[in-house]
């Protein structure tokens, strides 16, 4: 097989006119693929703005053209449906949505000056899932995934489906051309890190001493399938891994090892560009989930996602549950239901060789029971891929179970007392695996620029649910809603077309809750104080509560280099978490050394002062007040004396020297320190996803993260600093040139132009000017 990418040098125009079939309009703009039909504002827009008819034009030559070859035109994804013309021949209208579309163009292709026209409708079609009713996400229009021309000789292997289990057993299924009637000429070669380790014919083989794929060591093998009859030689190549994944009634097992699933749901949309994200951004999202969130599973809500994202999940050991397009609504028309079945087949076939995918979601998210629809759905998935279990996601109890795993969206977390419900209260079938596929989300939406109590509360509730997920041994795990904030329809979110349900914001920048997940993973040390440690943020100028997310053994607190107290994980409150939050309930500790009081009384007084400092006067009990009165009598203290004592240890330092240091220790060795003090110096902290942009099958994209920070590198959460973005050279800006920080941070997106050279990004603000130089090659 030969692949010729067709992603550069397209023409594009809004609307369609029949004259476009004969000549490209002079006012058509130059674009590259992936492409969104309209760059959208961050928020406050009407989703109808990108819905309509659009026309794409591509004139191309065929490299290595041979009239005896078979040519397949492949669109990896466009939204929603398109009429396809090539060299004046009309091939028909094809719905893509989230599925690849392949068209045999052999009879109409020529070596030079091929004229491809795509008339794209981005209108939500009620006869196609996920449409038919309201949907809690947007389906941005455009040819948002790559386009390619595949060429084969007369006899060829179109694809090989391969599965390897933990015992080294390999099963293959070759999809071949109709003309290939001599399968005995097909040979399979297995490679590990470019070393040939096996060669076999047929559909089954056992490889000894295999290296398993798992979340810590995601070993990948390459299968090269070669057809060679002495005249024609064709091959197909794919990656796979050896592993067993199974949901049982007592939990989830990977390679016979029980693992508690801890994950997040992911939407594939981005600010401004919608779905039109390149490979670099897909990889970026997978890396964020694995390394910044520290989770072990992601659910592709609510549709199949890009191959590059799945490839990266394979590479880094991030398990995936994929899902068909849809949300709550089940269509009754035959066209809707037929498309639903096609969606399942396409999803399963695309996902087959990915070891990261551990189950297929074959039920429309949160839909009602429909025996006929879901019985057929389940059968299609099992017939196409007998090696993966199926699951169906519902949001009501005791639903019919036709799939292998009972999946449930548990939104019982309406306050701190409620995390997850017991499995036995949800499903009447206790012999199957059980997985919580959503929680939180709309129960406590949180913006990155909300007040600190709101931002902390979101993180606390996520911790509470993770604790419950670990408490119930027969719950396979829980997948939170959701990873990233996302654009949505007017019926949902905060009225600005954004759902603020993520533990990261829409720009992939952190909220407090993201540290809860990362702290449950031991791959890197984590210490994050879930507060900005500014008392004026809170009512009455008292801290309401202070917690730390960490995977370290303990934390020591120092004030102005003086030791206060050591704090340990709070196993009373978070008994079942791998790494419970640490509660800081004392900001005085050993600092209180007033010689007027005995050592014993100093400890008691310090506790009372800390109680006021963290909680306020109204948290004092009657016994606390009696104790204060007793000390007033014993030590002949006036009220002004008490006031002075409090101010000496908790008041404002006129010299501004209130330096707090939280030092995290592992095995009694200091690992991380987080410092807080009054901010005096401010700057922009700028980081890049990558230093250089590399054009390959498509253009490349860079994400530049901009944070307004103080000298201790804390994000200024209430900064809305305006930024003027200018670009020049071999790059373009995706999105507006004038932006403001949200929650003290933002990301901007830069795309490469075709060719090579140098690009410059200039970021101007009241803090000065920053310049970034990046190479394009």
Sign of CA dihedral 639, 644, 647, 652: positive
The closest of 337, 336, 377 to 360, measured between CA atoms, is 377
Closest CA to 158 of 177, 178, 139: 177
Token representation of residue 579 = 């790494």
User: What own/partner pairs with CB < 8 Å and gap ≥ 24 does 670-678 have?
Assistant: 671/525, 671/527, 671/552, 672/525, 672/526, 672/527, 672/552, 673/527, 674/527, 674/528, 674/529, 674/712, 675/712, 676/529, 676/532, 676/533, 676/712, 676/714, 677/712
Angle, nearest 10°, between helix axes 599-613 and 639-650? 70
Closest CA to 312 of 274, 284, 277, 337: 284
Of 93, 72, 213, give the one whose Cα is nearest residue 153. 72
Within 641-753, strands assigned E span 660-666, 669-676, 682-688, 701-710, 722-729, 731-734, 738-740, 745-752
- Among candidate residues 438, 457, 613, 661, the one labeled active-site is 438
- Rounded CA separation 369/229 (Å): 51
Token pair recorded at residue 465: 């649910």
Q: Give the list of residues 6+ apart from residue 626 with CB closer than 8 angstroms, or none.
A: none
| 366 is known as an active-site residue | yes
* Cβ-proximal residues to 119 (8 Å cutoff; 6+ apart), any chain: 16, 20, 53, 54, 55, 82, 83, 85
Residue 438 falls in the annotated catalytic set: yes
- Name the residue among 352, 437, 340 with its Cα closest to residue 392: 437
Helices 622-634 & 599-613, crossing angle to 10 degrees?
Answer: 130
Question: How far is the C-alpha of 407 from the C-alpha of 392, rounded, in Å?
Answer: 6
- Four-residue CA torsion sign, 514, 517, 520, 524: negative
How far from 314 is each of 111, 355, 538, 722, CA to CA, in Å? 37, 6, 45, 39
CA-wise closest residue to 95 among 46, 58, 131: 131
Task: Tell how strand 357-361 and strand 319-323 pair up.
Answer: parallel
The C-alpha atoms of residue 405 and residue 619 are separated, in whole angstroms, by 47
Beta strand residue intervals within 25-65, DSSP E = 29-31, 53-60
Cβ neighbours for 203, distance < 8 A, ≥ 6 positions apart: 171, 172, 173
The closest alpha carbon to 160, from 104, 202, 223, belongs to 223
Q: DSSP label at 342?
A: H
Which residue is it, tokens 């939050």?
A: 581
Distance CA 34, CA 450 (A): 34
Max CA separation in the chain (angstroms): 106
Cβ–Cβ under 8 Å, residues 475 and 439: no
**Alpha helix stretches (DSSP H) within 402-511:** 452-471
383's tokens: 């017939």
**Following DSSP, what letter does each residue of 225-269 receive, concatenated?**
EEEE-SS-EEEEEEEE-B--EEEETTEEEETTEEE-EEEEE----
From 148, 366, 661, 674, active-site residue: 366
Angle between helices 334-351 and 371-384 (to 10 degrees): 30
In angstroms, the first-to-last Cα distance of the chain is 26
User: Active-site residue numbers?
Assistant: 366, 438
């Amino acid at each position: 097989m030969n692949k010729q990418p067709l992603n550069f040098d397209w023409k594009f125009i809004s609307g369609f006119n029949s004259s476009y079939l004969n000549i490209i309009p002079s006012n058509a703009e130059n674009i590259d693929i992936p492409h969104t039909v309209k760059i959208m504002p961050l928020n406050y827009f009407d989703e109808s703005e990108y819905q309509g008819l659009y026309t794409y034009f591509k004139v191309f030559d065929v490299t290595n053209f041979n009239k005896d070859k078979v040519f397949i035109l492949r669109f990896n994804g466009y939204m929603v449906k398109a009429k396809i013309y090539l060299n004046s021949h009309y091939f028909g209208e094809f719905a893509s949505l989230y599925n690849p579309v392949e068209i045999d163009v052999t009879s109409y292709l020529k070596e030079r000056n091929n004229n491809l026209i795509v008339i794209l409708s981005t209108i939500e079609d009620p006869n196609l899932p996920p449409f038919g009713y309201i949907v809690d996400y947007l389906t941005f229009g455009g040819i948002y995934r790559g386009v390619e021309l595949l060429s084969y000789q007369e006899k060829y292997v179109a694809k090989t489906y391969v599965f390897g289990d933990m015992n080294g057993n390999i099963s293959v299924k070759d999809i071949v051309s109709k003309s290939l009637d001599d399968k005995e000429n097909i040979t399979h070669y297995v490679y590990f890190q470019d070393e040939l380790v096996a060669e076999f014919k047929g559909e089954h083989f056992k490889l000894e001493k295999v290296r398993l794929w798992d979340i810590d060591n995601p070993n990948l093998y390459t299968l090269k399938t070669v057809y060679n009859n002495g005249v024609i030689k064709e091959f197909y190549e794919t990656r796979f891994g050896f592993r067993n994944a199974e949901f049982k009634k007592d939990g989830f097992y990977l390679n016979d090892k029980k693992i508690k699933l801890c994950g997040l749901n992911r939407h594939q949309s981005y600010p401004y560009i919608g779905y039109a994200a390149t490979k670099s951004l897909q990889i970026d999202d997978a890396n964020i989930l694995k390394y910044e969130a520290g989770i072990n599973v992601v659910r592709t809500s609510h549709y199949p996602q890009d191959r590059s994202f799945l490839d990266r999940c394979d590479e880094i050991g991030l398990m995936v549950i994929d899902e068909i397009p849809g949300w709550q609504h089940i269509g009754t028309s035959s066209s809707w239901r037929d498309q639903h079945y096609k969606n399942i087949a396409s999803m399963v076939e695309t996902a087959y060789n990915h070891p990261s995918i551990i189950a297929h979601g074959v039920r429309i998210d949160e839909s009602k029971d429909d025996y006929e629809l879901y019985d057929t759905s389940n059968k299609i998935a099992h017939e196409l891929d007998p090696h993966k279990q199926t699951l169906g996601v519902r949001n009501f109890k005791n639903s019919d179970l036709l799939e292998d795993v009972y999946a449930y969206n548990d939104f019982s977390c309406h306050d701190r007392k409620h995390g997850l419900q017991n499995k036995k209260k949800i499903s009447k079938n206790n012999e199957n695996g059980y997985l919580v596929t959503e929680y939180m989300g709309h129960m406590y939406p949180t913006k990155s620029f909300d007040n600190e109590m709101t931002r902390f509360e979101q993180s606390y509730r996520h911790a509470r649910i993770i604790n419950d997920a670990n408490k119930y041994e027969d719950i396979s795990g829980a997948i939170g809603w959701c990873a990233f904030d996302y654009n949505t329809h007017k019926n949902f979110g905060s009225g600005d077309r954004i759902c603020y349900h993520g533990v990261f914001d829409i720009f992939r920048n952190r909220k407090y809750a993201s540290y809860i997940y990362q702290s449950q993973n031991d791959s890197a040390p984590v210490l994050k104080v879930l507060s900005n440690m500014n008392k004026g943020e809170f009512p009455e100028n008292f801290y309401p509560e202070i917690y730390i997310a960490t995977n370290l053994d303990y934390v020591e607190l120092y004030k102005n280099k003086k030791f206060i107290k050591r704090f340990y994980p709070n196993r009373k409150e978070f008994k079942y978490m791998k790494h419970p939050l640490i509660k800081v309930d004392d900001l005085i500790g050993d600092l209180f050394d007033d010689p007027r009081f005995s050592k014993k009384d100093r400890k008691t007084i310090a506790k009372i002062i800390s109680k006021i400092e963290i909680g306020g006067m109204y948290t004092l009990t009657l016994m606390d007040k009696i104790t204060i009165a007793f000390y007033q009598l014993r030590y002949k203290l006036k009220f002004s004396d008490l006031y002075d004592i409090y101010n000496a240890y908790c008041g404002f330092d006129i010299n501004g020297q209130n330096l707090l240091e939280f030092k995290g220790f592992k095995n009694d060795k200091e690992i991380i320190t987080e410092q807080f003090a009054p901010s005096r110096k401010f700057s922009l902290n700028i980081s890049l996803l990558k230093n250089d942009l590399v054009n390959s099958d498509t253009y490349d994209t860079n994400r530049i993260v901009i944070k307004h920070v103080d000298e201790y590198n804390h994000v200024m959460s209430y900064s809305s600093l305006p930024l003027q973005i200018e670009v020049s050279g071999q790059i373009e800006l995706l999105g507006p040139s004038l932006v403001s920080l949200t929650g003290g941070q933002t990301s901007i997106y830069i795309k490469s132009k075709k060719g090579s050279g140098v690009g410059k990004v200039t970021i101007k603000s009241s803090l000065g000017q920053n310049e970034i130089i990046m190479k394009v090659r």
